Structure 1
Amino acid sequence: MPGTHVNPTRMELTRQKARLETAVKGHRLLKDKRDELMRRFLDLVRENMELRLKVESGIKDANRRLVLARAGMSEETLQGALMAPKQEVYLTSSTKNVMSVDVPVFSTKTRTSDPNDIYSYGFAFTSGDLDASVKSLADILPDMLRLAEVEKSCQLMAAEIEKTRRRVNALEHVIIPEAQENIRMITMKLDENERSTQVRLMKVKEMVLQDARKEEEARKAS
């Protein structure tokens, strides 16, 4: 049954056909969008898993090295070495559009280009384990930023996939069947009206012929 009352007119029939055509086209486009979003989402999920394992491994290695450095250095020396960072990292954030989803993009720029500026201390009174810990953290910084991008992108894409899925279901199970039912109902009503009109015309024609025969018989009788 149609969801709303429609007038069984040819104009309404044309409107419902146009509505159905638009809904079918929109359904096809949204399904394609949903499928492409799912493909990209799954790619991001796989990348997210790889990055998370890599980042966790890097942090674990940095912590292990820091524990060794703490064991070989006094607490005062360690705190003094890390008290005044020499390098600075500037983070900028922007977005890019992926299938109508604005996903974040992070980029970094260091104050200097010298890779040795990550060490804020001299090497005379510090251990090599501290150097390795600092180097490990510096190396995984790009992966940490990319992990943040990917995780946020996954959240945004998941929300867009759900929104698109609801739209696809609404078109597939509500709007398209409703338009099809309205077209069927209007077509049946118009056909019924046309048959009724033909019957009335045939009766009128028969009455006209009968009147014509009666007039002819009366004329002959006179």
Structure 2
Amino acid sequence: MEQVNPTRMELIRKNAQIKMAEQGRDLLRQKMDVLIREFFLVMESFSRSRDELEAVAKDAQRSLLLAEAVEDPITLKSASFATRKSLMLEVRGRNIMGVPVPVIEKKRVSKNVLERGYGIVGTSGRLDEAAEKFEVELDMLIDLAEKETAMRRIGAEIQMNRRRVNALEQLMIPELKSQARFIKISIEEREREDLFRLKKVKKILERKKINSESYD
């Protein structure tokens, strides 16, 4: 146990520390409850989006295979190079109980036929269909990345809060209470000793008084 000064002022200070530590623990528990609820909401949305993405990815792959079957390989390759463009994303944040999570602002990847960059003449509708489905897949990938990052950050905050709660519950609060008990016991023991000494002194004084009166 940490060396403590067994005084009433120290006991008051320890009791105040216990109260503060318990309030901190309760606040952390409340924060953790909110974060856990938010985590499961995001996780459910993430699971749904992932299942949808798998279906869209398979559909897009089938469309690409069909396009490869009907398109001239050179035309297909040229079209793929023509559609290569940078994707501008703007990431801002929102706050969930002190945890910053990303919100990706973007223009939709999906484009119309004229915006894709390859010529309409000489290409079939299969190519347009494949391009459209891969654009939808990319949109969904960006959305999924946002949700996964949020899950990771909220999950990390939950773990950190759980460690803090455990440290308060299992280490700090029991140690403070142990110190407070030690101080209280020490004060009570000292008061009993003082009372015993006072009684002893009182008896001695009374005896002296009796002896003094008998001499008179």
> Structure 1 length normalisation: TM-score?
0.89
2:49 — aligned with what? 51
Name the SS for the 1:105 alignment partner: strand
Q: Which moved more, 1:198-207 or 1:130-139?
A: 130-139
Alignment of 1:94-173 (within 5 A): 94-109=92-107, 115-173=112-170
Indicate yes or no: 2:188 matched with 1:183.
no
Q: Which runs of 4+ in 1 moved over 6 A?
A: none
CA drift of 1:85 comes to: 2.6
Residue type of the partner of 1:208? Answer: L
Residue type of the partner of 1:121? Answer: Y
**Could you say if the C-alpha distance between residues 166 and 32 of structure 1 is closer, same or farther in structure 2, counting changes exceeding 3 Å?**
same
1:62 to 54, 60, 63: 60
Residue type of the partner of 1:33? Answer: K
**Contiguous gaps of at least 5 residues in structure 2:** none
CA drift of 1:116 comes to: 4.4
Q: Which moved more, 1:82-91 or 1:180-189?
A: 82-91
CA drift of 1:115 comes to: 4.2
**Could you say if the C-alpha distance between residues 176 and 117 of structure 1 is closer, same or farther in structure 2, counting changes exceeding 3 Å?**
farther
On the 8 A contact 1:86/1:118 being kept in 2, the answer is: no
1:82 — aligned with what? 80
Distance in 2 between the 1:189 and 1:201 partners? 18
Indicate yes or no: 2:212 matched with 1:215.
yes
**Could you say if the C-alpha distance between residues 115 and 74 of structure 1 is closer, same or farther in structure 2, counting changes exceeding 3 Å?**
closer
Distance in 1 between the 2:37 and 2:145 partners? 20
Deviations 1:122-163 (A, max 9, x none): 333212121111111223333221210111111112211111
**Could you say if the C-alpha distance between residues 102 and 49 of structure 1 is closer, same or farther in structure 2, counting changes exceeding 3 Å?**
same
2:190 — aligned with what? 193
Distance in 2 between the 1:116 and 1:16 partners? 73
Distance in 2 between the 1:92 and 1:117 partners? 25
Name the SS for the 1:97 alignment partner: strand
CA drift of 1:178 comes to: 1.1
Residue type of the partner of 2:210? Answer: R
**Contiguous gaps of at least 5 residues in structure 1:** none
Distance in 1 between the 2:19 and 2:163 partners? 19
Name the SS for the 2:88 alignment partner: strand
On the 8 A contact 2:64/2:130 being kept in 1, the answer is: yes
Distance in 1 between the 2:169 and 2:6 partners? 24
1:30 — aligned with what? 28
**Could you say if the C-alpha distance between residues 86 and 167 of structure 1 is closer, same or farther in structure 2, counting changes exceeding 3 Å?**
closer
Instruction: Give the number of aligned pairs.
Output: 216
2:3 — aligned with what? 5
Distance in 1 between the 2:31 and 2:114 partners? 46
Q: CA RMSD in A?
A: 2.1
CA drift of 1:43 comes to: 1.4
